[in-house]
Amino acid sequence: MQAFHYEKASEVTSAVNSAGTPGVKIIAGGTTLVDLMKLNVERPTGLLDINGLPLDQIEKTPDGGLKIGAMVHNSDLAHNALVKQQYAVLSQALLSGASPQLRNMATTGGNLLQRTRCYYFRDTNYACNKRKPGSGCAAIDGFNRMHAVLGTSEHCIATHPSDMCIAMMALEAVIHLRGQQGERTVPINDFYFVPGTTPQRENVLAPGELITYVTLPPLPSGTRSYYLKRRDRASYEFALASAAVVALLQGGRIERVRIALGGVGTKPWRSVEAEHVLQKQQPDEKHFHAAAEAALRGARPLHDNAFKVELAKRTLVRALKTATSNV
């Protein structure tokens, strides 16, 4: 870890100005950044501590949705009464991730910007286009059991690691940003990039921009949601495959459904293909399996992660059954 200067921000405007300085990285909970600094993957010349910013509130919006400050800790968000009652899939996803200690430190904004856990990205002895553009991707011919099968390219197959973001994708969250050019909003599905030829570009965040808060739209009355995560062990483990389902049934048919997959995509993976298969259909085994086939149709598995295709299908089918049962 190299030497760096440290600054604390007390209000958003000054934070935006300081964050635009070349070499400066923003630190909140530090659950990702500090690890990467120790590994020399990240080598900032300065850290801007934003823990003092007034962005730690969870509140209802005038339209009945939810506003979540970027500095809200994962544990507080997971246990919030409104979240548990109206957006259960988000609480479930958060509680399936990391450990209680990490959830007490990690923030909403930091989770949205969480970096991949690809072994080759985190080890500077290996080639990684995400870490050093043009150097190659050691994972493609290496051990790639944990890597993505959706949204990959010949330049990168790293999996997006977040659980929270999968739930937020299914909930159609909107991310609110503030930079030196003002404020803007970005739907979460447009916030992330697939790697393509530029895997070092992971999202639309411009230099100096901050995530200030996230809004969740109100859900129709009677909506059910569920998050299911498959992993090697029961706790403190990243997903091999996960599924977030938000569904509304009316008259014995699926009136509205939103589906996102984790553990298999280079970004939080929204499957509109699966949603289209289920629209206006009965919630039964036949349609659930058809939706799962549609969701994984574009998968490109490699030698160690081919099992993820079938695992993701089964995970989605099980999540759909649970979300639509007893409705």
CATH class of 1-48: alpha beta
- DSSP E strand stretches across the chain: 5-8, 24-27, 46-49, 58-60, 66-69, 174-179, 182-187, 210-216, 224-230, 241-250, 253-262, 269-270
78: Cβ contacts below 8 Å, ≥ 6 apart: 84, 90, 91, 94, 95, 103
Predicted confidence band of residue 1 (pLDDT cuts 50, 70, 90): confident
Q: How confident is the model at residue 89 (pLDDT cuts 50, 70, 90)?
A: very high
267 SS3 class: coil
Nearest Cα neighbor of 166 from 316, 302, 61 is: 316
In the prediction, which pLDDT does 2 show? Answer: 87
Q: Are 73 and 85 within 8 A, CB to CB? A: no
Burial environment of residue 191 by CB neighbours within 10 A (0 to 12, 13 to 18, 19 or more): buried
In terms of DSSP bridges, do strands 46-49 and 174-179 run parallel, antiparallel, or are they unpaired? Answer: unpaired
According to CATH, where is 3.30.43 located in the chain? 1-48
Question: Which residues are paired to 227 by β-bridges?
Answer: 244
- CATH 3.30.390.50 domain position(s) in the chain: 224-324
Three-state DSSP state, 294:
helix
**Tens digits of per-residue pLDDT, 197-248?**
999 999 999 999 999 999 999 999 999 999 999 999 998 999 999 999 999 9
Map residue 295 onto helix, strand or coil. Answer: helix
Answer whether residue 327 shows pLDDT above 60.
Answer: no
3-state secondary structure of 54: coil
Residue 45 tokens, joined: 């010349």
Residues 97-131 have pLDDT tens digits of 999 999 999 999 999 999 999 999 999 999 999 99
pLDDT, tens digit, 9 for 90 and up, residues 19-61: 999 999 999 999 999 999 999 999 999 999 999 999 999 999 9
224-324 fold: Enolase-like; domain 1 (3.30.390)
The confidence band for 326, taking pLDDT boundaries of 50, 70 and 90, is: low
Over pLDDT 70: what percentage of the chain?
99
